[in-house]
Structure 1
Amino acid sequence: MIRTGEEYRDSIRDGREVWMGNERVRDVTTHRAFKPIVDVRAHLYDMAHDSGTRDVMTYHDPDSGETNCIANRLPRTQQDWWDKRAATDLVMDHARGVVTRVGDETIGEMWSLYDGQDVLNEVDPRFAENIRNHVHRAVTADPFHVSANTDPKGDRSRAPQDQDPDMLLHIVRETDNGIVVRGAKYETAAAYSNQAFTKPTIANWGNDEMSDYAVGFILDMGSPGLKFICRDGFAGRVPEADYPLSNRVDEVESMVVFDDVEIPWENVLFYRHTRAATYIRSTLHRYSAFAYVQRTLRFADLMIGAALWNAKQTGLDKQQAVQEKLATLATYRETISAHLTASIVMAEPSPGGLLMPNQSLLYTGRVAALTPLAEMMHLARELCGGQICITPDAAAFDNPATAGWLDKFYSINENWVADDRRKLLAMARDLLNSDYAGHRLAFQLFAQAPPFAHLAAVYHNFDYAGPLDLVRDVADLSDKVLGQKGATV
């Protein structure tokens, strides 16, 4: 059943070995770098109980009689997707920023496995049963579920067997209880999550039918032998008044080291079977891309709001050149929204009997959202002007020696006083121009895969039959040229 925020906090106080710099973090719920985002995640759990938000965040399961999180519900109807979209929007409203790892973006990877039960059955029928059990557990136990994907990789021109074998996570032996694995993975939010779907990276795990590197499992974050080596978080390093997003919604990544970690058989989803690994890689974002694209939509809203408020405060929103730039941002935003909406309206059955967003529209929407993202950020930066990089910090606005001058020069009129203007510029700076902003932009290459993978997904999911048939008929080509009608690439 759904958990409370305090139950979530208690679940991650399990003695896990977390390092940040030269510090052993004893309690991620109170540490300056983790506490803000842990508090956000805990609040999301509490939203499932709050009378003002629970109807959007949860649903009643008539079979079990339980109330469960809507994000974890297996999608079977269009309404399920509308409900998930509404819940994610509400989550971002309450987070007051873009939060990537809240669970809805990673549970979809489990649904892709659910669709691949026939492939898993080729390895061992127990593995298909394991995925069904874990999908059910994700719904009923409500864990904070994340994703473990990228390895350190090492020399990518060489097979993993021809270098330090630990560069890619791999099986080192089997036991009566399960498999023992060694290596490392990069994971966002790992240090304060409950479990992760751990899977092969996009790498050469070999061309043989069996490979020690083709392994996927559910990882309990409290497992012995795990070490979490984290990048330094942005929270707590600079004043919140000057960097509100950095201090509220920064999500800390970890290199998770597997020092001979035993994975129980009931948590193993596939292993040593390269076909299963290839299938999982090719369908990994079948569902989860929706959540990622929706977050880019929210980021677009933040850019438009920051840019438009900055134009309004000085009256520049009346200029045609400014309006054209704002219209460009609006077009970018609406293109993303249109793809999300259309992918629901034209949703299609999945191989496992679920309802997945229209794959061609979803993946083209991801390209439309991410390819111009840096350009759109710079356009918003241009509309905000140079003041986002030169405005003094909040302390200067409070300092009696300088406050009077800043109040004079930053107050525009009775509606735009210095304090409000400073807050707006600080938010825009943190969104577009800070260390956190640069991290968020680069993070897309990690969280959503690199651009070549986006285009590959479009190539393999677009229906080429229509254009081929159209040109075949218009050009009056013979069957000898293109083969039978409806031929695709």
Structure 2
Amino acid sequence: MIRTGNQYRDSLRDGRRIWINGERVTDVTTHPMFKPLVDIRARIYDMAHEPRLRDVMTYEEGGERFAIGLKLPYTQDDWHAKRRATDTILEDVKGIVTRVGDETVGEMWSLFDGQDVLNEVDPRFSENIKRHIGLVIQNDPFHVSANTDPKGDRSKRPQEQDPDMLLHVVKETDAGIIVRGAKYETAAAYANQAFTKPTIANWGDEKLSEYAVGFVCDFSSPNLRFIARTGFAGRAPIEDYPLSNRFDEVDTLVVYDDVLIPWENVLFYQHTRAASFIRATLHRYSAFAFVQRNLKLADMMIGAALWNVRQTGLEKQQAVQEKLAELACYREGINAHLTAAIATAEKSPAGLMMPNQSLLMTGRVLACSQLHNMMHLARELCGGQICVTPDAASFRDPEAGKWLSKYYTLNDNWQAEDRRRLLAFARDLLNSDYAGHRLTFQLFAQSPPFAHLGAVYRNFDWDDSLRFTKEAAGLSDRVYGRPAAAAE
């Protein structure tokens, strides 16, 4: 059933070994670089218990309440409910969090669709995925995704270098498989479990089968180590970097040092077709929640830019309006793809309601490939002051503050402090380390741009365009590779 925030915090105090900035973390729930996101995830759990939000965040079944984000989608209404719940979360925390569970559990639904593939190698694996989806719904863990390996020298096969550069199975036992390697996993240090899967693209060589493994890993398992990158929280005052200090989802290298994965947690193993299937269909559900975050990011950029030009009296200029309109087109383009993906949703092989794949995947390309352009537009509209404005402490200084008050006060409605707050917010959104990290994260977090386009290629309906052009151009049926008489 749905957990409380404190139950979630308690679940992280399991003795896991975490390092950040060269120090061992004794309690991830209180460490200053992890605490902001732990608190946000705890807040999401607590939102499900509040009477005013309960019906938005949860659904009832069999007299019990479960999280909307984890529900298997069987109808369009299920997707509308998921979208509404995510928007409610982002509005409540007043920022963007991506790795909180609803956008990663969908990856397991892709395997649910591939049960026939799993049954080919071992029917137990098909049963395992169904059972784990049920456990996620029932136990409400914080579930993340493990995709990217260190990879090493990518011009070489893994057997030609340290084989641990890609996570692989080193031993089978009666209890399960023993795995070794490492994965980069955003939010892993404060999550409960991960769907761990391979990233190798070429499965033509049977010798690589030891790398064709997917499983659910309990992060309280022995022999795991979590080595996190330096967080942004606490590096500068929150008044100057309001987003960096609250919404940095710390990425972690999770080291699997001969970790036992019980057989009941293995979803596929030594089956290259299953590995290929999951890589090709991994984001058919999870891309929706991922792209939805870009919609909120677009709102933040529009808001920061529009408030700035209103402050400085430039809103009526045609050149300014054109740039704002470009931001609006980007925002509404994402909105249109998400809305249409639900409106034209289709049944999946397992009977789930799947967002229209062509519209969803083209929407993801729009959202990710144009983000850097939109950020630059927003920078231009905010002006150079986002990179030169002094810090909050200078505004409070008795002597320096007088001068800053003079030069940053615009009129009776816009005093220096509001001007400073807006510029600090825009700087953190567009120019800071956090801003650069988010830009890269959105570009690669659901695979790199070429894979985004590959998903479009696999899901776009090419046949209708070919048919129409054939008829319009008067081409013979031979272009389809069959004689005209046979076609008639």
Scaled to the shorter chain, the TM-score interval is over 0.9
Task: Give the match for residue 115 of structure 2.
Answer: 117
TM-score (norm 1): 0.97
2:96 maps to amino acid: V
CA distance in 2, matches of 1:391, 1:333: 28
Residue 325 and residue 202 in structure 1: after superposition, are their counterparts in 2 closer, same or farther (change >3 A)? farther
Task: Give the match for residue 206 of structure 2.
Answer: 208
1:476 maps to which of 474, 477, 481: 474
In the TM superposition, what is the alpha-carbon distance from 1:248 to its structure 2 partner?
A: 0.5
2:79 maps to which of 81, 88, 93: 81
In the TM superposition, what is the alpha-carbon distance from 1:444 to its structure 2 partner?
A: 2.0
1:290 maps to amino acid: F
SS at match of 2:410: coil
CA distance in 2, matches of 1:95, 1:119: 40
In the TM superposition, what is the alpha-carbon distance from 1:205 to its structure 2 partner?
A: 5.3
SS at match of 2:51: coil
In the TM superposition, what is the alpha-carbon distance from 1:316 to its structure 2 partner?
A: 0.6
2:35 maps to amino acid: K
Task: Give the match for residue 5 of structure 1.
Answer: 5
Task: Give the match for residue 457 of structure 1.
Answer: 455
Check whether the contact 1:172–1:180 (CA below 8 A) recurs between aligned residues: yes
Check whether the contact 1:250–1:436 (CA below 8 A) recurs between aligned residues: yes
CA-to-aligned-CA distance 1:337-370 (integer Å, 9 cap, x gap): 0000000000000011101000000001111111
Task: Give the match for residue 381 of structure 1.
Answer: 379
1:86 maps to amino acid: R
Q: Which runs of 5+ in 1 are unaligned?
A: none
In the TM superposition, what is the alpha-carbon distance from 1:102 to its structure 2 partner?
A: 0.9
SS at match of 1:255: strand
C-alpha RMSD of matched pairs (Å): 1.1
In the TM superposition, what is the alpha-carbon distance from 1:374 to its structure 2 partner?
A: 0.4
In the TM superposition, what is the alpha-carbon distance from 1:43 to its structure 2 partner?
A: 0.2
Task: Give the match for residue 97 of structure 1.
Answer: 95
CA distance in 1, matches of 2:310, 2:15: 51
Check whether the contact 1:159–1:206 (CA below 8 A) recurs between aligned residues: no
1:218 maps to amino acid: V
CA distance in 1, matches of 2:385, 2:85: 35
Check whether the contact 2:201–2:276 (CA below 8 A) recurs between aligned residues: no
In the TM superposition, what is the alpha-carbon distance from 1:143 to its structure 2 partner?
A: 0.2
Check whether the contact 1:21–1:232 (CA below 8 A) recurs between aligned residues: yes
In the TM superposition, what is the alpha-carbon distance from 1:484 to its structure 2 partner?
A: 5.9
Task: Give the match for residue 68 of structure 1.
Answer: 66
1:212 maps to amino acid: E
Task: Give the match for residue 133 of structure 2.
Answer: 135
In the TM superposition, what is the alpha-carbon distance from 1:189 to its structure 2 partner?
A: 0.3
CA distance in 2, matches of 1:371, 1:353: 32
CA-to-aligned-CA distance 1:442-488 (integer Å, 9 cap, x gap): 11233121111111111110011111111111122112122369xxx
1:264 maps to amino acid: P
Check whether the contact 1:235–1:250 (CA below 8 A) recurs between aligned residues: yes
In the TM superposition, what is the alpha-carbon distance from 1:179 to its structure 2 partner?
A: 0.3
In the TM superposition, what is the alpha-carbon distance from 1:82 to its structure 2 partner?
A: 0.4
Task: Give the match for residue 58 of structure 1.
Answer: 58
1:30 maps to amino acid: T
SS at match of 1:370: helix
1:177 maps to amino acid: A
1:445 maps to amino acid: L
CA-to-aligned-CA distance 1:254-305 (integer Å, 9 cap, x gap): 0000000000111000011111100000000000111111011110000000
2:237 maps to which of 236, 239, 250: 239
Q: For structure 1, which segment, 370-379 or 445-454, has the greater mean C-alpha deviation from structure 2 after superposition?
A: 445-454
SS at match of 1:146: strand
Q: For structure 1, which segment, 444-453 or 458-467, has the greater mean C-alpha deviation from structure 2 after superposition?
A: 444-453
* 2:370 aligned with 1:372: yes
Check whether the contact 1:307–1:384 (CA below 8 A) recurs between aligned residues: yes
Check whether the contact 2:368–2:443 (CA below 8 A) recurs between aligned residues: no
- Report matched runs for 1:273-292 at 5 Å: 273-292=271-290
CA distance in 1, matches of 2:431, 2:216: 37
- Report matched runs for 1:381-400 at 5 Å: 381-400=379-398
In the TM superposition, what is the alpha-carbon distance from 1:210 to its structure 2 partner?
A: 6.7
CA distance in 2, matches of 1:227, 1:245: 28
Task: Give the match for residue 184 of structure 2.
Answer: 186
2:442 maps to amino acid: Q
In the TM superposition, what is the alpha-carbon distance from 1:204 to its structure 2 partner?
A: 4.1
SS at match of 1:180: strand
- Report matched runs for 1:251-262 at 5 Å: 251-262=249-260
SS at match of 1:102: coil
TM-score (norm 2): 0.98
SS at match of 2:245: coil
Q: Which runs of 5+ in 2 are unaligned?
A: 484-488
Check whether the contact 2:369–2:443 (CA below 8 A) recurs between aligned residues: no
Task: Give the match for residue 486 of structure 2.
Answer: none
Task: Give the match for residue 359 of structure 2.
Answer: 361
SS at match of 2:178: strand
- Report matched runs for 1:210-229 at 5 Å: 211-229=209-227
CA distance in 2, matches of 1:330, 1:173: 54
CA-to-aligned-CA distance 1:304-338 (integer Å, 9 cap, x gap): 00000000001111111100100000001000000
CA-to-aligned-CA distance 1:202-253 (integer Å, 9 cap, x gap): 4445521871000000000011000000001000111000000000010000
